[in-house]
Amino acid sequence: MVLEDFLPYWMTQNDFYIALSTMAVFIAVVILGSGLSEKNKFKSKMDYINKRRDELKNEIKERDSNNDDNKQQKFVTKTVKRLNLIPEKQFEYIQTMLMRAGLRSKFSIYAYAFAQFICPFVCIAICLFLIDYNKFRLDLDNLPQNVSFEVLAPFIAAIIGVYLPRIYVANIKEKRYKAIHRGLADSIDLMVIFTESGLTVSHAFERVAQKLSLVYPEIAEEFGLTAIELNFMPSHKDAYLNLADRVDMKEIRGLAQVLIQSEKYGTPVSQALNIIAKETRTEIKLRAEQKAAQLPAMMTVPMIIFILPCLFVIVVSPAILKLMITRDAS
């Protein structure tokens, strides 16, 4: 088999190579141009609190530190730095997005940038090798003859490749937030118990992280980091705001605001946490009732397709068999 057998009748092998090369050069120029056009501005000096916060994040959340000598990671890091694939203006946005998905290691930012760079080329290659052009050629009378599925497919694959890393990170973030939401009510109940027993808020966060590390590791991870920040940061408000920034959920933001207000006005922390725990339990109950109310409508189609035919066979079969036996006997 020759490559020309898979090409349209109006395209030669040389035309195919020229089109493929032109498209690859265009994508490379766009990506490199967007990175090189960014001005290398010097970052302003960060104050002591922000530096300490970043150090704590790196010390507590960086995993697999023994893999720093990995050749693949070194290659990815060098490639991203040489091509300047992480614009300075988008660095904080990418870091926040990955942090909310639970990817806090230094290498995760470089891996994300490298994936955004390489995925379009991988999708184009897969598209070119898997599509049977003779089967999927679209003959549209209203369009010019040179516009067909064979020409549009690589561009569509490139667009999909650009968004694949972001979709992957969004999926991880959604799963993580669901896991945090499942363990939030239990964690707040434990915090109420610990604060009522006389522990400080930082010790309560630490004890909750220890107790829930096996059952709800995601929320235990966030509470453990918050406990360390409460011990080292001069202002507890910054630690609470960091928790709300790392976990962009309505419940966590409410918890942070209640703790800030409680510390500001001197109200009992256990009383405020008890109110949040009741509200969280009520919200979980309402969501469960909402899902239960949707169940009959969701079960209608499976019941019609799978249950009713079986029930019809069970009910009607005896009568049909009895009628057949009566006819044979007569």
Q: Of 231, 238, 236, 237, whose CA–CA distance to 209 is shortest?
A: 231
Local structure of 215: helix, strand or coil: coil
The domains of the chain are located at 3-37+47-176, 178-283
Sorted by sequence, the CB contacts under 8 Å of residue 232 that are 6+ apart come out as: 52, 56
Tens digits of per-residue pLDDT, 142-175? 444 444 566 677 788 888 888 888 899 999 989 9
CA pair distance 180, 157, nearest whole angstrom? 34
Decide: 127 and 153 in contact? Cβ < 8 Å: yes
Sorted by sequence, the CB contacts under 8 Å of residue 8 that are 6+ apart come out as: 133, 137, 148, 150
| DSSP codes, 102-163 | T--SHHHHHHHHHHHHHHHHHHHHHHHHH--HHHH----TTS-TT-SHHHHHHHHHHHHHHH
Decide: 242 and 53 in contact? Cβ < 8 Å: yes
In terms of pTM, does the model score above 0.75? no
pLDDT on residue 93? 84
Q: Of 44, 31, 125, whose CA–CA distance to 80 is shortest?
A: 31
Tens digits of per-residue pLDDT, 227-256? 888 888 888 888 888 888 888 888 888 888
Exposed/middle/buried for 305, CB within 10 Å: 0-12, 13-18, 19+? exposed
For 103, the token pair is 């990817």
Residue numbers of the chain with a pLDDT score lower than 70: 1-11, 33-70, 131-151, 330
Q: Of 31, 177, 179, 7, whose CA–CA distance to 118 is shortest?
A: 31
For 111, the token pair is 């891996």
The type of residue at 20 is L
